[in-house]
Structure 1
Amino acid sequence: MTTLAELWERTARKFPSNAAILSAGESLTYEDVNDRANRLARVLVERGAGPERLVGLALPRSAHMVIGVLAAAKAGAAFLPVDTTYPAERVSYIVEDAAPVLLCTTQDAGTALPGRLPAPRLALDGPQHLAALEAVPGTDLADDDRAGPLSPAHLAYVIYTSGSTGRPKGVAVTHTGLAGLAAAKVSAMRVEPDSRVLQFASPSFDAFLTELLAALTSGAALVVPPAGTLAAETLEAVLREHRISHAVLPPTAAMTVVPERLPDLRTLVVAGEACPPALVERWAPHVLLLNAYGPTEGTVCATMTGPLSPGDEVTIGRPLPGVSVHILDDELQPVPTGEIGELFIGGPALARGYLGRPATTAERFVANPFSAAGERMFRTGDLASWRSDGRILFHGRSDDQVKLRGFRIELGEVEAVLGRHPKVAQAVATLRTDHGSSPQLAAYVVPADGTAPTPAELREHMMRSLPDYMVPAVYALLGALPLSPNGKVDRAALPAPSLTPRPALRQPDTPAEKALCEIFSELFEGAEIGVESNFFELGGTSILAISFIQRAQEAGLEFSPRDVIENPTIEALAAVAAAKE
């Protein structure tokens, strides 16, 4: 076993002149990146970074982010991604809970952070920091330069995932699984030193590690596009213009682009949510297509398929080398081939647990009765079955956790935030496909006595606490929640969210309203459109929002994804456009 810093330095010595990072029109060689990461690592050490300490990286997708990860590893510390697009309440909670020794950001990204955070900031593009970098050597750090020697048992990173109690929880991952993950991905994806790997994932999503390791342990180039959502025409343009040869995408994003238009793409890994057979039919004739599976608690990936072919039954493949998989019944006994049970994973790649949460860690990381004493296995909450050939079929969740566009969402966290609204007596969230072809998060609310919260009120309340992907798209008010015989909420009996009928839709008056009505009519064919029409109630998703934004740009109207979420009606969007003129 080895550490992230050692994996990187081994590659940098072997391919010093190869392009390592392509970003913002700049090409940085492995030698360039190593020099920058070494200098930053020395500054981080001076600021208190070291083994078992966290360095926050409040940075968008950028070369700064990649170099920050490598610098933290070289300093012996663990990196903590902090998404600056998250609501201030969530950012504050993560930083307070994780307690990093400092928070690396940039002058621009720092403006999106809450004003008061319990960690000193370091602006990576600030003049004082740039002067400090010039004053330290760019050579690799030795143990004497750090607070102590590197060890694979030390923390490598902490990533916060949705928590069922209403608060996100930090998954604390060591270096022990990184070398195995890197070797498995490079081999299966067939990454070569001349490859170009797309950096697609948000740094707050652990697929980010797959992209970094696949590129930066093989001598390949990591292509880092500007921050922002990548889907549809935007994603296709990045893949084509940067001649991307290897990409890791959630199935939802992969289905928004056309493989025939991407002659340079050689390998596509889909991960983060169930892979539909239609995706295999669409992509397998054109690329090496792999399906990967794994929770954050298992160092990104636990199982992966070989190359998929049209007509194949879609599985999640076999365990990666060094990973053990058990499919067990309620008594923790192995189920026979073909029968469904809960999927457990074991091996050295298991995370240490949840940061500062020993009870939750003990609940999910349990003793492994199938291996040596003292070893653990992680109960994923996923349902699976063995095929006779040793491949694994995925059958969904056994609890209230869902996957939406690759993001893991604990419905309990969504419900807990909904329940904090003063007009909400009870709340349930679920994933539905009633409006539009893509799954949407729906909220069912029993109002407090004498109140009637509007969808706009509830959406605004949710956006103050949750990232965009966790904010329900549609809201339904109920007199009471349906219950099963055992007294629990009967989710299967929840009605399709009905949209509030409008006696007459007001027609557009301004040029902006008229242009937006035309765009809505194109996106939601057959729907009656007026200025009160709501993007999400019509079936809009964050993926469809990208198409909307692009069409609006063609009409001379500029919007961000956040604009659409905060102002989902045509009337409100037209006002936003007017304010930007």
Structure 2
Amino acid sequence: MNASPPLPPMPGTVHHQIWQQAQRAPQSVAVVDDAGTTLTYRELTDRADAVARDLAWLDVTTEQVVGVCYPRSVDGLVQILGVLRAGAATLYLDPDWPEQRLQHMTAACAVQLVLDPWYGLRVLEIHQPPAAVLLPTVHGPLCYAVFTSGSTGTPKGVLIEHPGVLNMTAELARIFQVGPGTTVLQFANWAWDAAMCEILLTLTAGGTLALAPPAVRSGGPALADLLRRHAVNVVTLTPSVLDALPTADLPALRTVVSVGEPCHPALVARWAGPHRQVFNGYGPTEATVAATVAACTPGADIHIGTTLPNVTTRVVDERGHDVTPGMVGELLIGGIGVARGYASNPAATAARFTTDEHGRRWYHTGDHVTCRPDGALTYIGRSDDQIKIRGHRIELGEIEHVIAEHPAVRSCAVTAVADQLVAFIVANDASALGGQPAGPTSEPDQLPGLVLAHARTHLATFAVPSTGIVVSALPLTSNGKLDRDMLTAWAAAARTSAPSTASADADLAANDTLRLVLQVVADVLDLPVGADTDFVDAGGHSLLVAQLCVALSETLGREVPYLTVAANRTPADLAAAIDATTGPLNPIPAIGGASSTHG
């Protein structure tokens, strides 16, 4: 068992710490957005106090969950803090999510009140008694509820308490050097625990929170411009976003935290510097955002680090026995940050949260790790079908469950390839496929479009597959289980064969710009492409557009604007647009060439 030296738990509640910061430095800037709205700590807490007074009139009490259905904004932040100030717990309801998903979330947490800017204070009907929702207190009062995907198709509401949040924020503030005078980027969607970390870490430490507008959430040069405008010091981003973000001209940025996906050596080498530290953070939602943190050094092995104070870990085999250092096992997390469990889901709670013979509670992460001799943990991979794509935690089972609900679908399986989700669909009327053998078919019916449209009404955007493929049967292994390796091979083959122009227009490639553009686009997509390959149809998305923009600028030796890349989806159009702009073409020589443009 691994554990950092225990520290005395932070006293009080999260909002108690924030209001203390307001008393110490009332005129310090607490939050700023890109539209120029700025609130000091006194203004922020005064406005949140007004919300709390309104809730008090309605007899809102400790342990009650109140929904906040605001766009991510300064006003939305006021509502969240007002709920906490009233003593209740907050549940963020993304206005862009399907109504059915929001209804499930509010019912699971017995939400009676929802704050939103369109209808004011809404009162909801309770469809089940609160006693079935809130689990017994583990360490302290409830702070927030946040939903993850569910492997059975039902999202799970994780119940997080104040002591775990305070422990996490105090330690991360120390590690990342967040305090008065520090500006921290707020980038994550508020429906995820990463956003609660950004918000509460910054405000309990007395820093300034810089809210990212929707226009920069795909990363790239637009995000870099925002970091410069607000002189942001600390960012927490996924490797996908960091890979697409230019590193130049960010003198204020001194702390880069990589989370949500495996960190890789090239990222560390690109971002670390004499005045900038890179960290690799790890922690499931059920362990209050962060359980371990590692400081990363270029050229050194990448791991997920050691535990925060008051957090413990075990690495166990399939029988629950501790494994020796260097052996692979499942990671269990214990200590102050372990959540109460899942709202209205006792079966899932019992499966993931256990108590040992010494009375210690453990969360079973489903992550495989090894323990190094120095006590640090190395992440190996998932032990189930839960994956992360562009920082979003996704259960393939949830997506499959939603698609299988469509009346025209007999069965479905979803896989991921090159950061894209692909759904394989077996139609209810299998005979319509003419008895074709298992594997992707060329059936021209409208089923994939209908199924994906159905998925969009039930799932968050990031969880909707980009492609639907009709098959006569799903592949099985010799023991009768779904063969996910075969599914991945099918998906890769489908993506490779989709752009049929890989060998076309060879004569156009004689053009220097087009030749370089073809090379860069192929590298970014990790696919063979032709001059007329459509970037989006080949699997491109907003993060890859930003990454393509950076790669083209570096390869061509001049800035290629983001809008130029986004508006020209084929290499031929993109090369023509680049040639039509001013500025000399100054390509960087390949590694090993006789000359270099870098000093």
TM-score (norm. length: structure 2) = 0.78
Matched ranges for 1:192-231 at <5 A: 192-228=179-215, 229-231=217-219
1:169 and 2:162 matched: no
Aligned residue identity for 1:469: F
Distance in 2 of aligned mates of 1:166 and 1:551: 41
| Contact 1:197/1:215, CA 8 A, preserved across alignment | yes
Report the equivalent of 1:469.
462
1:255/1:376 Cα in 2 relative to 1: closer, same or farther (>3 Å)? same
Is 1:538–2:538 an aligned residue pair? yes
Give the corresponding residue for 2:490: 496
Q: Following the alignment from structure 1 to structure 2, what is the Cα–Cα distance between the partners of residues 502 and 402?
A: 27
Question: Is 1:49–1:101's contact at 8 Å kept on the other side of the alignment?
Answer: no
Distance change in 2, residues 1:502/1:338 (3 Å): closer
8 Å Cα contact 1:95/1:119 also seen in 2: no
Structure-2 residue corresponding to 1:81:
92
Per the TM alignment, residue 545 of structure 1 is displaced from its structure 2 partner at its CA by 5.6
SS at 1:456's partner residue?
helix
Instruction: Find the partner of 1:403 among 382, 388, 392.
Output: 388
| Residue-by-residue CA offset, 1:380-416 (whole Å, 9 max, x unaligned) | 0000010111110001100010011111111100111
| Residue 468 (structure 1) shift | 0.9
Please tell me the residue identity of whatever aligns with 2:413. Answer: V
Two-structure CA RMSD over aligned residues (Å): 3.1
After superposition, residues 86-485 of structure 1 pair within 5 angstroms as: 86-107=97-118, 118=124, 153-228=140-215, 229-285=217-273, 287-305=276-294, 307-369=295-357, 372-373=358-359, 375-433=360-418, 439-448=419-428, 449=430, 450=432, 452-485=445-478
Whole-angstrom distance in 1 between the partners of 2:98 and 2:537: 23
1-structure distance, mates of 2:490, 2:561: 30
3-state DSSP of counterpart to 2:296: coil
Q: Mark the runs of 5 or more structure 1 residues left unpaired by the alignment.
A: 121-149, 434-438, 506-519, 559-563, 565-569, 571-581
Aligned counterparts of 2:535 and 2:409: Cα–Cα separation in 1: 24
**Partners of 1:501 and 1:313 in 2: CA distance:** 37
Structure 1 residue 159: deviation in Å?
Answer: 0.5
2:167 partner SS: helix
Counterpart contact for 2:501–2:529, Cα < 8 Å: no
Q: CA deviation at 1:492?
A: 1.1
Give me the whole-angstrom Cα distance separating, in 2, the residues matched to 1:162 and 1:195.
Answer: 33
Partner Cα separation in structure 2 for residue 183 and residue 502 of structure 1: 50
Give the match's secondary structure for 1:259: coil
> Contact (CA 8 Å) 1:199, 1:223: kept in 2 or not?
yes
Q: For the residues of structure 2 that align with 1:210 and 1:480, how far apart are their CA atoms?
A: 44
Task: Note if contact 2:354-2:361 (Cα within 8 Å) is conserved in structure 1.
Answer: yes
- Bigger shift: 66-75 or 400-409? 66-75
Deviations 1:502-551 (A, max 9, x none): 9999xxxxxxxxxxxxxx98995563576xx7655402134236689997
Q: Please state how far the C-alpha of 1:447 moved relative to its aligned partner.
A: 2.3
**CA pair 503-199 structure 1, distance change in 2 beyond 3 A:** closer
AA aligned to 2:364 is R
Measured in 1, the distance between the counterparts of 2:268 and 2:312 equals: 27
From the superposition, tell whether residues 363 and 262 of structure 1 become closer, same or farther in structure 2 (CA, over 3 Å).
Answer: same
Does the CA-based 8 Å contact 1:197-1:214 persist in structure 2? no
| Alignment correspondent of 2:16 | 6
Which residue, 42, 57, 76 being the options, matches 1:65? 76
Following superposition, the deviation at residue 118 of structure 1 comes to 3.2
Query: 2:476 is matched by which residue type in structure 1?
Result: L
Letter of the structure 1 residue corresponding to residue 471 of structure 2 = L
Give distance in 2, aligned partners of 1:282 and 1:502. Answer: 32
Distance change in 2, residues 1:231/1:311 (3 Å): same
1:556 to 1:203, Cα distance in 2 relative to 1, 3 A: closer
Distance across 2 between alignment mates of 1:92 and 1:454: 27
Letter in 2 for 1:541: H
Q: Deviations over 1:203-254 (max 9, x none)?
A: 1111112212331122211111324524112211211111101111111111
Q: Tell me how far 1:89 sits from its aligned partner.
A: 2.3
Structure 1 residues 310 and 398: CA distance shift in structure 2, 3 A: same
What code does the residue aligned with 2:448 have? P
Deviations 1:22-42 (A, max 9, x none): 123122111111111111111
Distance apart, 1:119 and its partner CA: 6.0
Q: Distance in 2 between matches of 1:547 and 1:314?
A: 23
Offset from partner CA, 1:137-189 (integer Å, 9 cap, x none): xxxxxxxxxxxxx9962211111111111121111111120111111111000
Match of 1:527 in 2: 529
For residues 77-122 of structure 1, what are the alpha-carbon distances to aligned partners after superposition, in whole Å with 9 as ceiling and x for unaligned? 0000111111232223222333322111223xx79xxxx99369xx
d(CA) in 1 for partners of 2:124, 2:99: 13
What amino acid sits opposite 2:193 in the alignment?
A: D
Partner secondary structure for residue 300 of structure 1: coil
The residue type paired with residue 472 of structure 1 is P
Counterpart of 1:385 in 2: which secondary structure?
strand
Separation in 2, partners of 1:556, 1:260: 21
Counterpart amino acid of 1:415? E
Asked if 1 retains the 8 angstrom alpha-carbon contact of 2:244 and 2:548, the reply is no
Question: Against the structure 1 CA distance between its residues 16 and 504, is the aligned structure 2 distance closer, same or farther, given a 3 Å change threshold?
Answer: closer
SS at match of 1:343: strand
Amino acid in the other structure paired with 2:543 = I
Q: Could you tell me how far 1:256 is from its partner in structure 2?
A: 1.0
State the alpha-carbon separation in 2 of the partners of residues 59 and 224 from structure 1.
14
Aligned mates of 1:220, 1:243 — CA distance in 2: 13
CA-to-partner distance for each residue in 1:398-445, whole Å, 9 max, x for gaps?
001001111111110011111122232221111212xxxxx2112222
CA contact 2:243–2:547 (8 Å) conserved in 1: no
Tell me: CA distance 1:32–1:401, structure 2 relative to 1, closer, same or farther (3 Å). Answer: same
Please state whether the residue corresponding to 2:490 is helix, strand or coil: coil
Question: Partner of 1:130 in structure 2?
Answer: none
* Corresponding residue SS for 1:217: helix
In structure 2, relative to structure 1, the CA distance for the partners of 1:501 and 1:440 (3 Å cut) is closer
Check whether the contact 2:167–2:336 (CA below 8 A) recurs between aligned residues. Answer: no
Deviation at 1:66, TM superposition (A): 1.9
3-state DSSP of counterpart to 1:56: strand
* Residue equivalent to 2:67: 56
Q: How much has 1:278 moved relative to structure 2?
A: 1.4
Distance in 2 (alpha carbons) for counterparts of 1:528 and 1:348: 54
Say if 1:90 and 1:2 are closer, same or farther in 2 by CA, change over 3 A.
same
Determine helix, strand or coil for the equivalent of 2:163. coil
Are the structure 2 counterparts of residues 168 and 556 from structure 1 closer, same or farther at C-alpha, using a change threshold of 3 Å? closer
Per-residue deviation at 1:453? 4.5
Q: How do 1:528-567 and structure 2 match up within 5 A? A: 528=530, 536-544=536-544
Q: Is the 8 A contact 1:194 1:220 kept in 2?
A: yes
Structure 2 unaligned residues grouped into runs of 5+: 1-10, 127-136, 434-444, 503-516, 523-527, 550-559, 574-599
In 1, Cα distance between the equivalents of 2:403 and 2:75? 36
1:125 aligned residue: none
The CA distance in 2 between the partners of 1:202 and 1:27, in whole Å, is 20
Does the residue aligned with 1:170 lie in a helix, a strand or coil?
Answer: strand
Q: TM-score, normalised by structure 1?
A: 0.80
8 Å CA contact retained: 1:36, 1:67: yes
Pick the structure with greater CA Rg.
2
